A = this chain, B = another copy of it.
């Protein structure tokens, strides 16, 4: 049986999926091997993939890496300690008979959601992942947009405040991920507890973004204000994106999106107020594949490569 392998490389785990006839038939999850300054990461993934597919025919391997990728070259993945790695060549040498495609991890997840998840049926969409940070990917006319330096979809760093209030890990101020990621929402809640001094169900020591959303759903005034603030900032960023590329749909994923329709409805409503009148007709969907999206997207890259042969 012929298989396609999809490999989603993250800072803590590597997910390897085996796909047959478009279906994921087996998965393997490894801890990311960060020993020896990252030098062992790729060799360890290659070895694990070989062990995982002994005696099988591998048609192609799609790989998602956590950093900007241009033409198969990883420019940098600081959390892995990797800089300027020709991943395309390394995998082609290790698997000479397989088609190899490399992309950024957020791009892979975007493709996964478009092919099998919340973005099915759309040729032009923007995927937004709300996790510890905010990442994203852009699909235009059914093609993943890589960007000139592999950085299309870095939407977490759209600026949504001009008071230099919160410094982002990227060095800039007031990036949307400082306000609308899981970490950002917690920051806002702690700020509001401190400054508003109103009655709230939120207990400082226990605060997570999920807990904030749960309290907001239960009607807690302070938690609702935190959600409103998050929605304001994210809707602002999405309206900037829509004014620029006018996509058909936004697909919202990542841990924070588990707040579901409670978040999505508010987000779409505020987006409709903030976006330019002629781009308001943008659909909003929740992502469906969770942390498997990258793996599915990696498989989809190979399916596309086969089709376009």
Footprint of B on A, CB under 8 Å? 68, 75-76, 124, 138, 140-141, 143, 145-155, 157-162, 170-172, 236-237, 239-241, 243-248, 274, 276-279, 281-282
Contacts and interface: CB of A to CB of B under 8 A. Distances in A.
A147 B246 contact: yes
Given A155-B244, A243-B157, A277 B171 contact: yes
Contacts of A151: 243, 246, 276, 278-279
A244 B162 CA distance: 19
A246 B162 contact: no
How many chain copies does the complex carry?
A: 2
A268 to B, nearest CB: 15
Nearest to A136: B244
Nearest to A147: B246
A244 B246 contact: no
Given A140-B140, A154-B276, A246 B282 contact: no
Nearest to A236: B159
Nearest to A146: B246
B154 A248 contact: no
B145 A68 contact: no
A5 to B, nearest CB: 28
Contacts of A150: 246, 278
Contacts of A170: 276-277
Nearest to A68: B278
B161 A162 contact: yes
A75 B170 CA distance: 41
